[in-house]
A and B are shown apart, each in its own frame.
Chain A
Amino acid sequence: EAGVTQFPSHSVIEKGQTVTLRCDPISGHDNLYWYRRVMGKEIKFLLHFVKESKQDESGMPNNRFLAERTGGTYSTLKVQPAELEDSGVYFCASSRDRENTEAFFGQGTRLTVV
Protein backbone atom coordinates (compact mmCIF):
# COMPACT_ATOMS: atom_id res chain seq x y z
CA GLU A 1 0.00 0.00 0.00
CA ALA A 2 1.46 3.35 -1.03
CA GLY A 3 1.83 5.88 1.73
CA VAL A 4 0.93 9.54 1.75
CA THR A 5 3.02 11.32 -0.84
CA GLN A 6 3.78 15.00 -1.02
CA PHE A 7 5.24 17.04 -3.83
CA PRO A 8 7.59 18.82 -4.02
CA SER A 9 9.86 17.77 -1.17
CA HIS A 10 11.53 21.16 -1.17
CA SER A 11 10.60 24.53 -2.59
CA VAL A 12 12.47 27.80 -2.46
CA ILE A 13 10.58 30.82 -3.73
CA GLU A 14 10.85 34.56 -3.48
CA LYS A 15 8.54 36.67 -1.39
CA GLY A 16 5.47 37.55 -3.40
CA GLN A 17 5.54 34.47 -5.58
CA THR A 18 2.98 31.67 -5.61
CA VAL A 19 3.60 28.09 -4.58
CA THR A 20 1.32 25.09 -4.77
CA LEU A 21 1.92 22.04 -2.63
CA ARG A 22 0.34 18.73 -3.46
CA CYS A 23 -0.67 15.80 -1.29
CA ASP A 24 -1.81 12.37 -2.41
CA PRO A 25 -3.40 10.54 0.51
CA ILE A 26 -3.57 6.81 0.96
CA SER A 27 -6.23 5.39 -1.33
CA GLY A 28 -9.55 5.02 0.46
CA HIS A 29 -8.74 7.53 3.19
CA ASP A 30 -11.57 10.04 3.40
CA ASN A 31 -9.84 12.25 5.94
CA LEU A 32 -7.02 14.49 4.79
CA TYR A 33 -5.21 16.97 7.00
CA TRP A 34 -2.70 19.70 6.41
CA TYR A 35 -0.24 20.73 9.14
CA ARG A 36 2.62 23.16 9.27
CA ARG A 37 5.75 23.22 11.38
CA VAL A 38 7.56 26.49 11.60
CA MET A 39 11.19 26.21 12.74
CA GLY A 40 11.46 25.42 16.43
CA LYS A 41 7.74 25.41 16.99
CA GLU A 42 5.07 22.78 17.28
CA ILE A 43 3.27 21.17 14.38
CA LYS A 44 0.12 23.21 13.87
CA PHE A 45 -3.13 22.11 12.35
CA LEU A 46 -4.20 23.98 9.22
CA LEU A 47 -7.29 22.24 7.94
CA HIS A 48 -9.21 19.01 7.60
CA PHE A 49 -11.00 17.58 4.57
CA VAL A 50 -13.56 14.83 4.66
CA LYS A 51 -13.64 13.65 1.09
CA GLU A 52 -13.91 16.87 -0.95
CA SER A 53 -15.47 18.97 1.81
CA LYS A 54 -13.59 21.27 4.16
CA GLN A 55 -14.60 20.02 7.58
CA ASP A 56 -12.47 22.42 9.56
CA GLU A 57 -10.24 25.19 8.24
CA SER A 58 -9.83 27.08 11.48
CA GLY A 59 -6.07 26.69 11.41
CA MET A 60 -5.52 28.44 8.10
CA PRO A 61 -3.39 31.49 8.93
CA ASN A 62 -4.96 33.96 6.48
CA ASN A 63 -6.57 34.27 3.07
CA ARG A 64 -3.26 33.89 1.27
CA PHE A 65 -3.67 30.18 1.85
CA LEU A 66 -6.11 28.20 -0.28
CA ALA A 67 -6.65 24.47 -0.02
CA GLU A 68 -8.61 22.29 -2.37
CA ARG A 69 -9.33 18.63 -2.65
CA THR A 70 -10.54 17.76 -6.10
CA GLY A 71 -13.01 14.90 -6.19
CA GLY A 72 -12.01 13.84 -2.73
CA THR A 73 -8.69 12.49 -3.93
CA TYR A 74 -5.49 14.52 -3.90
CA SER A 75 -5.27 17.91 -2.26
CA THR A 76 -3.41 21.10 -3.06
CA LEU A 77 -2.38 23.91 -0.79
CA LYS A 78 -1.64 27.17 -2.54
CA VAL A 79 0.12 30.10 -0.94
CA GLN A 80 -0.34 33.35 -2.85
CA PRO A 81 1.47 35.65 -2.41
CA ALA A 82 4.05 33.96 -0.20
CA GLU A 83 5.55 35.85 2.73
CA LEU A 84 8.74 35.17 4.68
CA GLU A 85 6.84 33.85 7.70
CA ASP A 86 5.28 31.14 5.54
CA SER A 87 8.56 29.26 5.56
CA GLY A 88 8.36 25.89 7.27
CA VAL A 89 7.58 22.27 6.67
CA TYR A 90 4.08 21.48 5.48
CA PHE A 91 2.83 18.01 6.35
CA CYS A 92 -0.13 16.24 4.91
CA ALA A 93 -1.77 13.32 6.67
CA SER A 94 -4.65 10.99 5.92
CA SER A 95 -6.76 8.60 7.90
CA ARG A 96 -9.57 6.24 7.04
CA ASP A 97 -12.03 7.29 9.70
CA ARG A 98 -12.23 8.54 13.24
CA GLU A 99 -12.16 5.05 14.70
CA ASN A 100 -8.77 4.71 13.09
CA THR A 101 -7.39 7.91 14.50
CA GLU A 102 -3.84 7.08 13.61
CA ALA A 103 -3.17 9.38 10.73
CA PHE A 104 -0.43 8.55 8.28
CA PHE A 105 1.84 11.41 7.39
CA GLY A 106 3.65 12.32 4.22
CA GLN A 107 7.32 13.22 4.28
CA GLY A 108 6.50 16.91 4.22
CA THR A 109 7.31 19.78 1.89
CA ARG A 110 9.98 22.15 3.12
CA LEU A 111 9.05 25.63 1.94
CA THR A 112 11.58 28.41 2.12
CA VAL A 113 10.49 31.91 1.23
CA VAL A 114 13.38 34.30 0.63
Chain B
Amino acid sequence: DQQVKQNSPSLSVQEGRISILNCDYTNSMFDYFLWYKKYPAEGPTFLISISSIKDKNEDGRFTVFLNKSAKHLSLHIVPSQPGDSAVYFCAASELFSSGSEKLVFGKGTKLTVNP
Protein backbone atom coordinates (compact mmCIF):
# COMPACT_ATOMS: atom_id res chain seq x y z
CA ASP B 1 0.00 0.00 0.00
CA GLN B 2 1.87 3.02 -1.28
CA GLN B 3 1.00 6.14 0.65
CA VAL B 4 3.19 8.37 -1.49
CA LYS B 5 3.14 7.86 -5.23
CA GLN B 6 5.31 9.26 -7.96
CA ASN B 7 3.70 7.84 -11.06
CA SER B 8 6.32 9.01 -13.54
CA PRO B 9 9.53 7.00 -13.19
CA SER B 10 11.33 9.33 -15.57
CA LEU B 11 11.09 12.77 -17.13
CA SER B 12 13.16 14.37 -19.83
CA VAL B 13 13.18 18.12 -20.51
CA GLN B 14 15.22 20.60 -22.50
CA GLU B 15 17.60 22.97 -20.76
CA GLY B 16 15.89 26.26 -19.99
CA ARG B 17 12.41 24.77 -19.96
CA ILE B 18 10.24 24.02 -16.95
CA SER B 19 10.43 20.63 -15.20
CA ILE B 20 7.32 19.55 -13.35
CA LEU B 21 7.54 16.56 -11.04
CA ASN B 22 4.35 15.24 -9.53
CA CYS B 23 3.52 13.41 -6.34
CA ASP B 24 0.26 12.06 -4.93
CA TYR B 25 -0.44 10.87 -1.41
CA THR B 26 -3.24 9.04 0.29
CA ASN B 27 -2.76 9.67 4.00
CA SER B 28 -4.59 12.80 5.12
CA MET B 29 -2.54 12.83 8.35
CA PHE B 30 0.60 13.92 6.53
CA ASP B 31 1.35 17.47 7.57
CA TYR B 32 4.72 18.21 6.01
CA PHE B 33 6.07 17.44 2.59
CA LEU B 34 9.60 17.41 1.30
CA TRP B 35 11.46 16.94 -1.93
CA TYR B 36 14.86 15.30 -1.99
CA LYS B 37 17.33 15.09 -4.85
CA LYS B 38 19.61 12.13 -5.26
CA TYR B 39 22.69 11.75 -7.42
CA PRO B 40 24.11 8.27 -8.13
CA ALA B 41 26.10 6.78 -5.24
CA GLU B 42 25.06 9.58 -2.91
CA GLY B 43 22.40 9.87 -0.25
CA PRO B 44 19.30 11.98 -0.83
CA THR B 45 19.81 15.69 -0.19
CA PHE B 46 17.06 17.95 0.97
CA LEU B 47 15.76 20.33 -1.68
CA ILE B 48 12.61 22.09 -0.54
CA SER B 49 9.67 21.52 1.79
CA ILE B 50 6.16 22.74 2.42
CA SER B 51 3.88 22.67 5.42
CA SER B 52 0.32 21.49 4.97
CA ILE B 53 -0.94 24.92 5.99
CA LYS B 54 0.59 26.44 2.87
CA ASP B 55 -0.09 25.89 -0.80
CA LYS B 56 3.13 27.21 -2.24
CA ASN B 57 6.76 27.55 -1.27
CA GLU B 58 9.42 29.05 -3.48
CA ASP B 59 13.19 28.87 -3.23
CA GLY B 60 15.09 30.22 -6.19
CA ARG B 61 14.40 28.09 -9.23
CA PHE B 62 12.42 25.58 -7.19
CA THR B 63 8.76 25.92 -6.27
CA VAL B 64 6.61 23.34 -4.55
CA PHE B 65 2.84 23.49 -4.87
CA LEU B 66 0.48 21.66 -2.54
CA ASN B 67 -3.16 20.89 -3.32
CA LYS B 68 -4.53 19.35 -0.14
CA SER B 69 -7.99 18.66 -1.49
CA ALA B 70 -6.49 16.64 -4.31
CA LYS B 71 -3.73 15.21 -2.10
CA HIS B 72 -1.27 16.27 -4.73
CA LEU B 73 1.97 18.16 -4.75
CA SER B 74 4.32 19.15 -7.49
CA LEU B 75 7.85 20.46 -7.82
CA HIS B 76 8.55 23.04 -10.51
CA ILE B 77 12.08 23.77 -11.64
CA VAL B 78 12.43 26.88 -13.77
CA PRO B 79 14.62 27.17 -15.72
CA SER B 80 15.90 23.60 -15.79
CA GLN B 81 19.65 23.09 -15.95
CA PRO B 82 21.70 20.00 -16.87
CA GLY B 83 22.99 19.87 -13.29
CA ASP B 84 19.43 19.27 -12.15
CA SER B 85 19.57 15.81 -13.68
CA ALA B 86 19.03 13.44 -10.77
CA VAL B 87 16.39 11.29 -9.11
CA TYR B 88 13.83 13.33 -7.20
CA PHE B 89 12.03 11.82 -4.25
CA CYS B 90 8.82 13.14 -2.81
CA ALA B 91 8.44 12.52 0.93
CA ALA B 92 5.62 13.06 3.38
CA SER B 93 5.89 13.39 7.11
CA GLU B 94 3.46 12.34 9.80
CA LEU B 95 3.92 13.32 13.42
CA PHE B 96 2.51 10.92 15.99
CA SER B 97 1.21 11.79 19.45
CA SER B 98 4.13 9.87 20.92
CA GLY B 99 6.42 12.44 19.38
CA SER B 100 7.81 10.07 16.81
CA GLU B 101 7.87 11.09 13.21
CA LYS B 102 7.95 9.04 10.08
CA LEU B 103 8.94 10.02 6.59
CA VAL B 104 7.33 8.12 3.76
CA PHE B 105 9.03 8.33 0.39
CA GLY B 106 7.80 7.88 -3.15
CA LYS B 107 9.73 5.69 -5.57
CA GLY B 108 11.38 8.64 -7.22
CA THR B 109 11.36 10.28 -10.66
CA LYS B 110 14.52 10.37 -12.71
CA LEU B 111 14.88 13.80 -14.29
CA THR B 112 17.13 14.28 -17.28
CA VAL B 113 17.78 17.81 -18.47
CA ASN B 114 19.21 17.82 -21.97
CA PRO B 115 21.60 20.61 -23.02
Contacts and interface: CB of A to CB of B under 8 A. Distances in A.
B31 to A, nearest CB: 10
A84 interface: no
Given A42-B107, A50-B99, A56-B102, A102 B49 contact: yes
A98 B45 contact: no
Contacts of A105: 36, 43-45
B41 A107 contact: yes
Contacts, number: 66
Nearest to B104: A45
Contact of B103 (A4, A6, A41, A103): A103
Contacts of A101: 32, 34, 49, 93, 101
Contacts of B101: 31, 48, 56, 98, 101
Nearest to A104: B46
Nearest to B45: A105
Contact of B95 (A45, A93, A98): A98
Interface of B: 2, 4, 32, 34, 36, 41-46, 49, 89, 91, 93, 95-96, 98-108
Interface of A: 4, 6, 31, 33, 35, 40-45, 48, 50, 55-56, 58-59, 91, 93, 98, 101-108
| Shortest beta-carbon contacts, A-B, top 10 | A105-B43, A43-B105, A56-B100, A55-B100, A102-B46, A42-B107, A107-B43, A105-B44, A42-B105, A108-B43
